[in-house]
Structure 1
Amino acid sequence: MNIYDVIIVGSGAGGGTLAAKLAPSGKKILLLERGSWLPREPDNWDDAAVFVDNRYISPDTWYDHKGKAFQPQVHYYVGGATKLYGAALYRLREKDFGIVQHHDGISPAWPISYADMEPYYTAAEQMYQVHGSRGEDPTEPPASAPYAFPPVAHEPRIQQLADDLAAAGLHPFHAPCGVRLTESNRPYSVCVKCDSCDGFPCPLHAKSDAEVFGVRPALTQPNVEMLTNAEAVRLETDPSGRTVTTVIVEHEGQEERYQGHIVVVACGAANTAKLLLRSVTDKHPNGLANGSDQVGRNYMYHDSQAVLALSREPNPTVFQKTLGVNDFYFSGPGFDFPMGNIQMIGKSRPAMYRGEKPLETKFAPKFSLNDVANHAVDFWLSTEDLPMPDNRVTLTSDGQVKLTYQPSNSTAADRLYHQLKSMLKHLGMHEDHLAHRFAYMKTDIPIAGVAHQAGTCRFGNDPETSVLDADCKAHELDNLYVVDTSFFPSIGAVNPALTAMANALRVGDHLLARMGVSAATATAA
């Protein structure tokens, strides 16, 4: 049996980034991915295939706290969830790393500071070719370098929206976008076929995802191997229970076993908890790394709202996701608590309406849906979801994910929605039209939309209240690490992908040092 220096389970924002970081070290690395390569095909750009037929959503079945089955909006491909994410690559705010008082509860402090993470944010922005502009966002944390790439230019209707927001005394900014641009500082002209990175795969590899910038570069090194269609189902330890020795994998219908000196789990917050809870041993009767009973707890995924406003003037924007507003991130008018982030979401189109609301649109004529789409301006509102111990992942009797969840910060989410609604008349919108969309959530079970899931293996300094230490190593094991968003003790109110990428680079430096490889040597290799 081959023995690897490092086995990485999962190839998304955490696992794929870590693989690229470690690949030049010369160490023997195995990357396991339960899915396959996402096919590059015409359906990548087809609204109906993506939003009605669920072409790229996993057939997984999860269960809610009452035992009701639902299909989570998850994607298992090389590159993980980043293959269909919106590539909005925000840093957490500096204050997010400390204790934050919310109207409905407390957001806890991290065991590391923003200053500890900052160099890795900069490195991740460079690695993933993030386009942005420093100094526009009043909540922007300190940065050691400018963005390496200029911001994506607003199209005319979005530029007008930015001007109207500024005239209202706010501070709109160019959203940090992970896309590859043409020389004219615009997305590739053929991006008109999907209008946005949101929810669509990119057959051009023009989106900054973990396959393009993580896995593919890693696989250019002869010491890196990858196995696809390989789901890790259990971890085994040595007799002491202190060291993971074996990753047991279901690969194309067969059970296979792989040994590694270091094992890094990056399956996504729900599936990482599932893997650890399944890995019961005599020394770990409640699941691996779960002596604190914290594995699976504190599940978070943002209180997000996709809303559609109707512009008085047509909105012919192609690439809409270029603008953000954080003026209400930490407080708002008459509300001295955090509300959250406002950003644009991908431009809505008629097929999306039919996919998101099939009953309501079943008899709607195509021309009426086209008219709505032609005037739609689409916003994404994110409010911090507070960690609650009883919001958690457990297992059903046959080892499947059971997700118990109640919203934790609804007052702030409601205030953010009504704040936007109150501004519509100043933004060239019909003030009585602000409708909820259900992007990525086409069922009546809110927990099905799990794009920003986090928190099930929080890191911290106290083994009684956390699963991982500050280096993201399990307190109870000598060689088990977690680098997906499971490690988050809090989630802030911006997209978590860049923080997962930056943390993977940070943990990568720790692992290189542990293996006796200097970061400089790894970079030069």
Structure 2
Amino acid sequence: MSYSDTKWDVIIIGTGMGGGTIGRTLAEAGQKVLFLEQGAAGYRSEESGLSEIFVPEARLTRGLWPTPLHASVNGQDQVFYAPLGAGLGGSSVFYAATLERPEPHDLDHTETTPHPTQGWPVSFADMVPWYHRAAQMFRVYGSDDPLSAGPALPLRKPPELTQTEAGLMASLKSVGLNPYHAHTGIKRIAGCKNCLGVKCPKTCKMDGRSAGVEPALETGNAALLTGAEVTRLEEKGGDIIAVHATIKGQQEVLSAKRYVLAGGALGSAKLMLASANKAHPNGLANGSGQVGRNLMFHVDERFVLWPKRGTVDSGATKAISLRDLYLQNGNRFGTIQAVGLRASYGVIVHYLNLMLARSRFAKIPGLAQLTRIPAAIAHRLFGQAQIFVGLMEDLPYAHNRVTYDPNQPERLAIEYRYAPELLARRQAFRKAIRKAFRGHRRAFLGLKPVLNFGHPCGTVRFGEDPTTSVLNSDCKAHEISNLWVVDASFMPTSMGVNPSLTIAANALRVGDAIVKEAG
């Protein structure tokens, strides 16, 4: 097939939660779709994970983002490999398949839930049917959240709780908390291993690949081109007329009627900045100056809980979630959930080395080997403790941004400073966690704030006002007639839950709008 000579209806750059979902929607509607993916398709049977590999070609082969992230956090420069994907399915093939819906106040801002933005141009009520469709597409299972203010999701019946899970559920309820079975897109198949942080070799994990790209290809209306590094979008007269990409060392030009960016909140913003021209000197569709800005992550508050005696088995739980602290006294905290890991020796070594890589001691030779000693001590202390995380919402600030240097076009870089309100809110969150889990043996796993670099969002925000946003309410660029963005870039707030279900639901919504526009 000659990809450059084919007349495509839509070219989609990226194959993760947003790209895979909208690509399937468009292909099933009869649109001729071309997926462009920087990384490799990989083998359906592989089980590669988010391992520390330092050769760009080897990382791309395994579906990992090839280059390190250069991050300036509070003025301190850090260089490390972020948990980002760059292969078929993007980052979603490595995710933990947590697919939680946000609360109404996340999208509908009121006087009782103040926020430094104008909020979402699409209401929670408008998004509900798309959340339902996304939950069905991704086969989400779990139990209803007893504290949820919205209509119940169409959830599949969850598997039976293990001994540890049942014991923790009972002990949490005994102190007045309201745990529920977490909403997850992994169905257990006989012989299936834990897919947390690992590509699933079967079809038990629903992600951008299994729920999006693969069904799209099966329609016969879609094609996939891997190893395609898009370098810029060519614009003329307010339209994108071509995609310029390096494919197997060759420069190629591909064109379509419409273009969709889905390369992640860092990748899509970087590409728009790299596509500057005379009409858009500050970056494509960047008349507002907002492209790349308002970068948000979640702030992870990790802690361990010890199950009650007599309720412990050998497994780790990912089945427990609770929202008792989601919004408390006007503080936008977030959900608390089990991460699916025990505080084992290997896990502790991993987290210590991760903290080391993001510290000023990262370049000291041999220091990483010494983390084994405190890890061994911690493992003896923690025993069967289960790791939980409080996923605290980050708020948008213009100074937190993706940066682009035309002299280093391959470099992925950000600048981020902790806002004083975030630091104060984090201390309040820790205090609330200590109080909420009274009666349980528990311990925090860190002292400093930890950004969740797997949850970047907000860099190409949507809104009604072209002076303060990049996209309109249908996620089409204000200044470009045939460009849409459907990854986490579009989100004006980070919400208090994992972003995956929202990305998928929005991609379904935007796909429907594109189909209607195409007639």
Same fold, TM exceeding 0.5? yes
- Counterpart position of 1:150: 157
1:505 alignment partner, SS class: helix
Q: Which moved more, 1:35-44 or 1:316-325?
A: 35-44
Q: Which letter maps to 1:146?
A: P
Q: Distance in 2 between matches of 1:128 and 1:154?
A: 21
State how 1:225-236 maps to structure 2 within 5 Å: 225-236=223-234
Q: 1:166 aligns with which of 168, 173, 179?
A: 173
Counterpart amino acid of residue 163 in structure 1? A
Between the aligned partners of 2:111 and 2:247, the Cα distance in structure 1 is 46
* Residue of structure 1 equivalent to 2:303: 307
Return closer, same or farther for 1:162/1:89 CA change in 2, 3 Å cut-off.
Answer: same
SS in 2 for 1:510: helix
Q: Which residue of 2 aligns with 1:440?
A: none
Q: 2:416 aligns with which of 383, 405, 411?
A: 405
SS at match of 1:453: strand
Larger mean CA deviation between 477-486 and 305-314 belongs to 305-314
Answer whether contact 1:51 1:355 (CA < 8 A) is retained. no
CA RMSD of superposed structures (Å) = 2.6
Q: Structure 2 residue aligned with 1:137, among 146, 159, 182? A: 146
AA matched with 2:210: V
One-letter amino acid matched to 2:258: I
Change (3 A) 1:68 1:90: closer
CA contact (8 A) 1:342 1:379 kept: yes
Deviation by residue 1:60-95 (Cα, 9 ceiling, x = unmatched) = 133234665433221112111111111110111111
User: Which of the residues 503, 508, 521 maps onto 2:506?
Assistant: 503
Q: Which of 252, 255, 262 is the matching residue for 1:256?
A: 252
- The answer for the alignment partner of 2:356 in structure 1 is none
**Please, which of 122, 126, 145 is the counterpart of residue 112 of structure 1?**
122
Query: 2:198 matched to which residue of 1?
Result: 200
Over residues 454-476 of structure 1, what are the superposed CA-to-partner deviations in whole Å (9 max), with x where a residue is unaligned? Answer: 10010000000000000000000
Higher alpha-carbon deviation: 203-212 or 492-501: 203-212
- Hey, what's the Cα distance between the residues in 1 that align with 2:104 and 2:314? 33
Q: Structure 1 residue 354 and structure 2 residue 349: aligned?
A: yes
Q: How far apart, CA to CA, are the structure 2 residues paired with 1:445 and 1:287?
A: 32
Q: CA deviation at 1:101?
A: 6.9
Measured after TM superposition, the shift of residue 52 of structure 1 is: 5.9
Matches within 5 A, 1:320-399: 320-331=317-328, 335-348=329-342, 349-358=344-353, 359=368, 361-363=371-373, 371=380, 374-396=383-405, 397-399=407-409
TM-score, with structure 2 as normaliser: 0.87
Q: Partners of 1:303 and 1:102 in 2: how far apart?
A: 22
Unaligned runs of 5+ in 2: 354-367
Aligned residues of 1:6 and 1:263 also touching (Cα < 8 A): yes
Q: For each residue in 1:417-452, what CA deviation from the matched residue of structure 2 results, as whole angstroms up to 9, or x when unmatched?
A: 23323444523x2x4x33249xxxxxx9956x4211
Any idea what the Cα deviations from partners look like across 1:92-146, whole Å, max 9, x if unmatched? 1111112267999635410011111111100000000000223x33134224x63
1:320 maps to amino acid: T
| Cα distance in 2 for residues equivalent to 1:463 and 1:253 | 38
Read off the aligned partner of 1:419 and give its amino acid letter.
A
| Structure 2 residue aligned with 1:22 | 26
Give the C-alpha shift of residue 158 in structure 1.
Answer: 1.8
The residue type equivalent to 2:338 in the other structure is M
Q: Determine if contact 1:101/1:337 at 8 Å carries over to the other structure.
A: no
Q: Which residue of 1 aligns with 2:515?
A: 512
Q: 1:119 and 1:336, CA in 2 relative to 1: closer, same or farther beyond 3 A?
A: closer
Q: Any unmatched runs of 5+ in structure 1?
A: 181-186, 438-443, 517-525
1:75 equivalenced with 2:85 (yes/no): yes
Instruction: After superposition, give the CA deviation of every residue in 1:281-325 in whole Å (9 maximum; x if it has no partner).
Output: 111111100011010010011112232234463743535111111
SS at match of 1:5: strand
Report sequence identity in percent.
34
In 2, Cα distance between equivalents of 1:102 and 1:39 = 50
